[in-house]
Structure 1
Amino acid sequence: MKNALLLLSLLMMTACNDSSTGGGSANTTFTPSCVTAQCRSKQRILEIPGAENVFFTDAGRLFVTGNANIYEVVKESGEFRALPRSVGTAGGSGFGGMAQRGNTLYVNVFDDGGLWAARLTESPEFSLIHPLGLTMPNGLAAGPSGELYVVNGPLELGLTLPDPKVVRVRFSASDAMQVVEQSDWLSLTGYQPNGIASVGRSLFITASRLLPPALGVLLRVDIAADGSAGEPEELFQFTRIPDDLSVAGDALLLSFFSEGAVALVSQDGDLLSRSEPLSFDSPSQLRLGRPPLFEPTDILVSEKGLLIPNPLPYGNALSLYRLIP
């Protein structure tokens, strides 16, 4: 998934400095609004091969995707454990973005271009519920009316031409496992989209831009009253490649895969705080912690590391980024 992004970075190193187009306040209810090593320390808590996405359910259960597995993180006798909840599909890059609707957890699969799901029982069992027919289903977010939004991108390295877009998926009112409609909701031609997060009737998307070239941009797209997509607005431009993002109070947490850093950005596009370069091993996703496993000020980060299987102690981990007392 990220191989193409790293190649892109070599072609676009002439991009300008990080710049914000947002004119709003830099205040945030995420306190303290600091993600640097001056206020936080990192602890590697679990080995997760190919760690990709991190997701807390409404009840505080933590799921992490990595390669062809979905893990649930539990704590037993004071120690964290990663319990495999699905073996996924054979080979490839496996599972990606996750989202929740009611008592069901959904996950994209890069390998088969499908949408998988599981009821949030004591031991969830994930299975394919809908073939999306996409070349690279990546970021996933739940909308305000129970729909899901799927990012197709950033690139397809096979024989299929890239088709950057956001797809909307709707479900049966009586069956959370039954897809009743899939539609191309927003074309993102000229971008290479990656992660997505929803706040009310707005979607925030991380992407790279082809022309004029930009390693990274943060987009906001509003959902109109009739459900259609508004015009994408660029809030922020980066000189580094962003991967995924998540909501943190009235701000957003972003991972910078190419720089090995994380950042806190306001929803108006103002940079609030950014960690030091190489403070993480190619981070993919990050989320605010939730009880009972973690404090609400904790940040959980998936550190993917190298894009090929490797025996090195680099990446392949879930890390806890906690405030220094």
Structure 2
Amino acid sequence: MKNLFSCALAALLFVFFIASCAKKDEITLSQQDNSLSELKITTDSYISSLASSPKIDNNTPQVQGFWDRIRNVLTVIGDLAGGAAGWGIGGPIGAIIGGGAASALMYYEINDGNPIVPKDETVAYAAANPNNPFDYVGYYHYYTMNQIAKPPNDYINTDGTFSTQKFHSFSGNLLQQQGVITYTQFNNLSLSSVENNLLYIKSNLNYSNSSVDVNGFLNTIHTDGRINSGSKDALVSYFNALQSFSRLQSATVQDINNFISYSTTMENTVASSALNSDDKAMVLSTMATARYGVHYWLK
């Protein structure tokens, strides 16, 4: 399959300043390490719970029988790629619009040009976590996706190609109507920044037709100074769990609920952790998008 170029995790936050007091830094870093250890323990426990479940083997024909679900999980990863990367160009608003553009494009491409099929709105967004102050980023990411899916011409050019410009305009106007952003905030998130965001993902992502090198991508953007080590380590742990979930032969309602429960636990830990406020905001937005994505695409 030709097209998972936006199917990765990215996070384009700039390097954060470390407090000047060395002793305070030492305490902060120690507390951060404890928080990251707690996240890893939660992830290891979740992955261990999947150990006895049958997995998909990429080297056998059986993978084709699960391809629709694999594509849906990869779409979730694509949603996160754009959402986390979009954060760096416009904070939570960039995560919603920039993330929406990346995930809509990835879905359109991976499904061979077939438009997004909208969901029943009574069940599309039922995965909230009131303890996550950035829960709205995940919610409006999928609210925008679902609304733009209703008239496909709002993100598809007349020649059948995906239009970043149309998606940018539609989603910006929709979010203004919903009172999520102001006119000024939308104007500050330029079309060129969204387009460059997609190009960055395309240039730095390694993928195959059934997997994404999330850890490699995180290492790249960490090396580039677009994400710091605390955020990177938190997201590596989280995406190890998401990729383990993606390899299950079946995704029952209970499997989906278990991942949502895992995500909620991780988010609650991050929200009360020693990570700095910028790290928390980006990581919590990314996790919220994943949680809503698993529910939206798979349930």
Fold conserved (TM > 0.5)? no
Higher relative contact order (CA 8 A, sep 6+): 2
Greater strand proportion: 1
TM-score where L is the length of structure 1:
0.30
The structure richer in helix per residue is 2
TM-score by length of structure 2 reads 0.32
